[in-house]
Each structure stands twice: as C-alpha cells, then as structure tokens.
Structure 1
Amino acid sequence: MEVEFIRLADEIPECEFLIEGYPGIGMVGVIAIRHVVTECGAEPAFVMKIEDMPTAAIVHEGRVYPSAGVFVLDDLSFFYAEQADMRPGVVQNISESVAELSREIGVECIVCLAGIRAPDLEDEPSLYYAATSDKAAELFEGIAEPLKGGTITGVSGPLLLEGSLRGLDAVCLLVETPGTYPDPKAASRVVEALNEALGLSVDVSKLEEEAERIAKAVEETVQRLREQQRMEEEEAEPTERMFV
C-alpha cells in the first residue's frame, strides 16, 4: 500500500532529530508526542496519507490538525499517528517513507518511542534504550538502561534499520507499561526522558493527572468485578460431590 507525505508548510527548517510515536503497547509514543506537540505548539509540516485508509482530522482548541503526520518545533520534528494501520506492507512502507523524509529534512538522529510490556508492574516504570550506533546510544546513557535482548516490532523496529541504512543514527526509547490500556504514566516518563536528553522543558502535570484518573478508574473496575464475583459465588447453589 502506498504511503505518501504531503507538505503543508511553506518553509520547514532543518531538524536535527525526528521523534517517532506510532500506536503500540500502551500507546506511550502517541500519548507522549501528542502531549509535547500540544504543550509546545508544534506546527504541522506534513500529513501522511495511506492508500485505502481515510484521513481523519483532529481538533484541538478549535484548530484542525492531521491525525497522522509530521510536526515541527525548532530543530525537532515529530512523527505520530492517532490510528494504526498494522498491515505488514503498510508498516514497512511507513518506516521507509519516514526514514527517507528524515534524510530529506536534514535529520541526523531518529528517536523511536515504544512500550515494553510489564503485566505485573507496580512501581515506577523503568526505561530502556536500543541504538544503532554509539553516538545514538549516548543520547539516553544515564537516563535509561540498555536493553539486553528482545525484538522491537511495529513501526519502530523497521524505522531503526531504515534510518541506519540511510546513514542516520537511530535509537529506540522503551518504557515499561502493563499494555492493557493507554498509559499516560509511562508516557510521562518518556517525556521526562526527552526533556533531559534534548534539553526540553515540557510540563508533564497533565499527563500525571490523567494517569491518576485512569488508575482510579481501573481500581474501581477491579473492585466492582471482585464484588460481582463474590455475589455470584454466594448465590450459587452448592453441588453434591460425586465419588466413584
């Protein structure tokens, strides 16, 4: 399926970094980039169109933005999509197109954001990184731990390789998340890491408030299910034990 980036801005500055967040485990990349884009007022530079997939419009404070595309803020560019098209051919084409666009706008390093599943996570989520070069690894050294092993899938995995094939440094920042629901707490950790690595100062208080709201809703749901199970067990008639 053909993937096309259509230019929206008349002038686009050279960007040292492109930061990617495509829908995946916990939606952490999408949530993190959406937050940075809206908090900092990044401007849409390209809209992404995929053959046979309708293009949606996202409205924020009365203004319409593309649901998938590239936003620019000073020397940073951000690629993200609100909806995922995970057909294998589409994923590969997206990765190739984003890597090629990165090269064209002067990007030196691609930063992918992704979740790493941790079903029983109770403490603060840990951060890991995997890089294609020593230079890219330096970005998150002291901020995250090197990933010992595993597989990076989705758009992030192929994009790391496609960027490297085009002479770009590339690194993936991964954060632990239960992965069962959109996780603004994990996304907040990602934004804090970007603040430190890239010298940003993005406020994460809104993400933390959203995380508290979701945690409360999840806990209420769990308690309700437990109560329902208890009531069903109490109402169940005892069955006779059979012996042969």
Structure 2
Amino acid sequence: MSNHRLDDASFIEGLPGIELVGKVAIAYILGRVKAKKICRIYSPYFPSVAYISDGRIIPNFTDLYAVEDPAKAIIMYGSAQPSSSYGQYEFCQKVIDLASKHGATRVFTVGGLGGKEKISPRREIFCSSTDRRYLEKYLELVDGQVYSGQIVGAVGILINLAGSRGLENMCMLVEIGESTPDYFAARRAAEALIKLTGLNIELSSVEEIMKLSNRVISQLES
C-alpha cells in the first residue's frame, strides 16, 4: 500500500452495478487523468468467481487511485461488489477507512436507476445524502433531482458510512435504458463526477467513452 496522501480530496466510486453505469464512468475518467495506484483490495466477500484472461485466472479486486492535478481525487475502481449484506458493510467500512486515511473529505457515489417508463435523452440524475446541507451544496452543480426510494449495494452504504464519519457526501442514481452497459447513462455519470471533483476533463461523445472505457477496463482486468 502506498502512503500517498492528498489534502481535501474528493472520493469517487465506480463498482459494477445496474447497467455498469459507475464502472464505465470511472474507467473513462481513469483513462483521462494521470493517476497513481494507492492500493488493491481483495475480499473473501467478493463473489466466488474468477475471471480468465488469455488463460490466466484473475481474482476479483478493488483498486484505489490518487489524482493530484487538476484537482485532488481518490478514485475507486473494482471488478465486483461483495455478494452479502455483511460483506458489503465490512468492505465499505474498509474503503471509507482508507479514503479518510488518504485525505478524502467528500464522498460521491454513482449507480444506475431502473424501472422508469420514460427515459430522458440526457438521462436524469437522482441524488440523496445523509445531510440536507450537502444536497443543497451539490445538487444544482450536477443538475440533479432529489431522490426518494431504496438504494442497494455499496453505492448507498458508502454514503451512510461517510456521513457517520462527518464526510460530505452525495449518492447519484442515473436513469438507465435497456442496454448493458448503458453508455449514455455512464456519460451522464462521468459528467456529474467531473463537475463535483473539478477534474476539468472535456467530456467525449458516447462513442469515444465506449472505446476508451473498454480499453481501460481491458487493461485493468488483464
């Protein structure tokens, strides 16, 4: 593990979830910034599945990366989420511990939101937080709406744990279509994360996001 520490950094999450919205968005961002790996996390709570790349078995993992310029950020990329509720809490607690240790003061998570009959071409973002003050601070920045409903998985647990630590936080759920991955939703998620972190990345077209994220995922998971 690297001892690399940032001051007043934003932590952003991208784990596989509904239509892979967060994973693709984070892979795209990693492809556009200069990032240094802080650590790799393995967990016994990850699904009992190994992936094969060119005959080599690859275990599930989560990586944390540090970005210093143009803004300080800690980026979380992973190949899987824990498959049990107990595992989710144990895993997310460790992630928040590491994020805090390395200088995160804000936590932003992103996932997909299904079940909507009419999907806007731009994809709406629905936001929630442990504190109304954080919603008021960040909601307008991402042109989001306040969310009411359930949040499943790390995207919500990380926010709850961040709030218990006194970290600013916001969870974003992007409405999805029927494709997997949903690159339109991933583009909207990347746009929001870029604005929240101040990474100042020029947003590419959906086609370019698809190409770059696929290339980055192939590199990270090989």
Q: State yes or no: 1:172 paired with 2:165.
A: no
Amino acid at match of 1:88: S
Q: State yes or no: 1:19 paired with 2:12.
A: yes
Could you tell me which runs of 5 or more consecutive residues in structure 2 were left unpaired when the two chains were aligned: 54-59, 212-222
Change (3 A) 1:179 1:136: farther
Q: How far off its partner does 1:131 sit? A: 1.5
Corresponding residue for residue 107 of structure 1: 104
Could you tell me which runs of 5 or more consecutive residues in structure 1 were left unpaired when the two chains were aligned: 1-6, 60-65, 213-244
Tell me the secondary structure at the aligned position of residue 173 of structure 2: strand
Tell me the secondary structure at the aligned position of residue 98 of structure 2: helix
Corresponding residue for residue 154 of structure 2: 155
Q: How far off its partner does 1:24 sit? A: 0.8
Corresponding residue for residue 65 of structure 2: 71
Corresponding residue for residue 36 of structure 2: 43
Change (3 A) 1:85 1:200: same
Change (3 A) 1:210 1:139: closer
Tell me the secondary structure at the aligned position of residue 42 of structure 2: strand
Q: Residue 130 of structure 2 is aligned with which of 123, 129, 132?
A: 132
Q: How far off its partner does 1:56 sit? A: 7.7
Partners in 1 of 2:149 and 2:186 — Cα distance?
A: 21
TM-score normalized by structure 2?
0.77
Tell me the secondary structure at the aligned position of residue 205 of structure 1: coil
TM-score normalized by structure 1?
0.71
Q: How far off its partner does 1:211 sit? A: 5.6
Q: State yes or no: 1:29 paired with 2:22.
A: yes
Amino acid at match of 1:203: E
Corresponding residue for residue 183 of structure 1: 182
Amino acid at match of 2:197: L
Conserved? CA contact 1:23–1:82, under 8 Å? yes
Partners in 2 of 1:141 and 1:210 — Cα distance?
A: 24
Q: State yes or no: 1:80 paired with 2:77.
A: yes
Conserved? CA contact 2:16–2:81, under 8 Å? yes
Rg larger in structure: 1
- Give the fraction of aligned pairs with identical amino acids, expressed as a percent: 22
Pairwise CA RMSD of aligned residues? Answer: 2.8
Matched length: 199
Tell me the secondary structure at the aligned position of residue 125 of structure 1: coil
Show structure 1 runs of 4+ deviating over 6 A: 54-57
Partners in 2 of 1:114 and 1:56 — Cα distance?
A: 24
Q: How far off its partner does 1:141 sit? A: 1.9
